[in-house]
Amino acid sequence: MLDERKLIAALQHGLPLVSHPYAAIAEQIGSSETEVIEYIQAMKDRGDIKRLGVVVRHRKLGYTANAMVVWDIPDERVDEMGHCFGRFDFVTLSYRRPRHLPDWPYNLFCMIHGRDRDDVMKNLQLMIANCCEADIKYSVLFSNRCFKQRGAIYIHSEKTEAVRA
């Protein structure tokens, strides 16, 4: 039987760069190549795996400008806006998150990528023109330094590693 936890733990670090990567994972977790492939297919079909492929670091490719745009949208319109913003190619995430008043009034978050800040601002204007009124309240948080970027590790091999400081 395939152990889902073990499979996810193996997958979150990426597929090994060998001819038969699923066989290599199968060996690592005590399963078979066919079982691993079928299980991954099932996770894709269920939507548990959003995508399987090459994970790119945009900054290294010259997409150095990235802004988190946060919006204060009336609750009854946030779903509509979230979907509308999400349709643009350059928007990689569109999420609703909680407000924390009074410090944080924003409830919709979009990540916008571009080659430079002008590019990002043009993209932002395009979103506003297509999805909402010009007087919508938002804030643009450009990124400066990236201190850390890697895939999410949900399952830690050692308990002691989980809270390490």
Q: Provide the minimum distance between the beta carbon of 1 and other proteins in the complex, in angstroms, as a whole number.
A: 19
Q: Provide the minimum distance between the beta carbon of 84 and other proteins in the complex, in angstroms, as a whole number.
A: 9
Closer to other proteins by Cβ: residue 53 or 74 = 53
Task: Residue count of the chain, please give it.
Answer: 165
CA–CA dist 148, 165 (Å, integer)? 15
Closer to other proteins by Cβ: residue 47 or 74 = 47
Closer to other proteins by Cβ: residue 37 or 121 = 37
Q: Provide the minimum distance between the beta carbon of 135 and other proteins in the complex, in angstroms, as a whole number.
A: 21
Please state, as a whole number, how many other Cβ atoms lie within 10 Å of the Cβ of residue 123.
20
Q: Provide the minimum distance between the beta carbon of 24 and other proteins in the complex, in angstroms, as a whole number.
A: 11
Q: Please state the φ and ψ torsions of residue 9, each to the nearest 5 degrees.
A: -60, -40
The first and second tokens of residue 29, run together, are 């977790």
Reference 95, options 110, 112, 77, 74; nearest CA is 110
CA–CA dist 120, 130 (Å, integer)? 16
Closer to other proteins by Cβ: residue 29 or 113 = 113
